[in-house]
Amino acid sequence: MRTIESLGSLRSRTVIVRCDLNVPLSDGAIGDDGRIRASLTTIRELREAGARLVLVSHLGRPKGAPEARFSLRPVAERMAELLGAPVGFVGETVGPEAESAVAALADGDVLLLENLRFNPGETSADPAERRAFAGRLAALGDAFVSDGFGVVHRSQASVTELAQLLPSAAGRLVAAELAVLRRLTDEPERPYTVVLGGSKVSDKLGVISHLLERVDTILVGGGMLFTFLAAQGHDVAASLLEEDQLDTVRGYLAEAERRGVRIVLPSDVVVAAAFAPDAAHEVVAADAIASSSFGATGIGLDIGPDSAAEFARRIADSATVFWNGPMGVFEMEAFAHGTRAVAQALADTSAFTVVGGGDSAAAVRALGFADERFGHISTGGGASLEFLEGKPLPGLEVLA
């Protein structure tokens, strides 16, 4: 994979940097600036090299047209605070205003353009339309650095086509993420434990299949655990259930047993009367959800305390741990115990630990854990999972 060094001297050259600044934003307030912080290593290095930086990113899922709630302006303001230097902002991605602002850059200056997805060409299914938009972006710069790991699994104009139109290389964040993922897949130190959570088992099928050949233990929590319990014949009442995945899950359970891989399901769960932060709730055995006080309307919203303790013990006994997906509805304090217990176990262990981006990264920060407590916090949940599934990542292939 080409690195920044392959681009030669960057002094006085305009470098377009594809960042992933897709941060949670509500009424202009940034909920978690982790992705902004993660982008700073490459930005600082390029500034010190005398490059003129044009940063591009998406935020949210606008439908190919401007939407004020998805503007990157608050991101530019926060980045300037973290960088300790001005970060210019232009309210368009391509056009005369962007061209003028780029032309006015001096060595070391930083400019952030507006949300890429305000232009339909960014995410178009038509390669010609993507290439046309990438061509307009490419006209703004002399070189391209791909540093948005959270999008390298997508074929998008600023990820794939732009890299083909300019001298291109991977940024330090992408290189670091790739090094971590290779450490998880090539020769991980054992025992190797994977903790999987989140709402749907269908989102994790590929990674489960691929990891069965590589890991020693898989701990299952989150909403996906109820499909596993149902596959074993248990009544999960009104808990989240993907009935169309039951046979697939049974197959994975059988394959894990054949390979000697331990798939550990919770022994107890927290069942609530409703999906609400103040809902009445109780802890019941995992095979007795329908027998809770709430009967057939009970909803499992977290792993129970015994399961959390068991998961923590298994994490403590591991040499490598990868975690993707919360153990429960951590946004509600009553159902955050399991996620907090897993995060604490990862923070306390001497093992090599990787928090696999997405909701897991948001959870550890929301629960008050510093990034430094973990070996690595990924900026790309989807990209990390697809790499672990063994899928090719277009945004990396184009940099080979």
Q: How far is CA 208 from the centre of its chain?
A: 17
Question: Which alpha helices (DSSP H) does 232-283 contain, by range?
Answer: 246-259
Per the annotation, binding residues for substrate are 20-22, 35, 58-61, 117, 154
- Among residues 37, 73, 200, 250, the one annotated as catalytic is 200
Per the annotation, binding residues for ATP are 204, 300, 331, 357-360
Q: Which of 171, 134, 129 is nearest to 42 (CA)?
A: 171
- Among residues 13, 35, 47, 314, the one annotated as catalytic is 35
- Among residues 91, 183, 382, 391, the one annotated as catalytic is 382
Q: Is 260 a catalytic residue?
A: no
Region of residue 198 (left: phi > 0; alpha: psi -120 to 50; beta: else): left
Token reading at 38:
């993660």
- Among residues 150, 358, 380, 381, the one annotated as catalytic is 358
Per the annotation, binding residues are 20-22, 35, 58-61, 117, 154, 204, 300, 331, 357-360
Cβ contacts of 103 within 8 Å, gap of 6 or more: none
Q: Is 325 a catalytic residue?
A: no
Can you tell me the distance from the alpha carbon of 379 to that of 149, in angstroms, rounded to the nearest whole number? 7
Q: Is 63 a catalytic residue?
A: no
For the chain, first and last CA: distance in Å? 4
Q: Is the distance from CB of 184 to CB of 385 less than 8 angstroms?
A: no
185 sits in which H/E element: helix 172-185
Q: Is 200 a catalytic residue?
A: yes
Beta bridge partners of 219: 195, 264
Give the length of the chain. Answer: 400
Cβ contacts of 258 within 8 Å, gap of 6 or more: none
Q: Which positions are catalytic? A: 35, 200, 358, 382
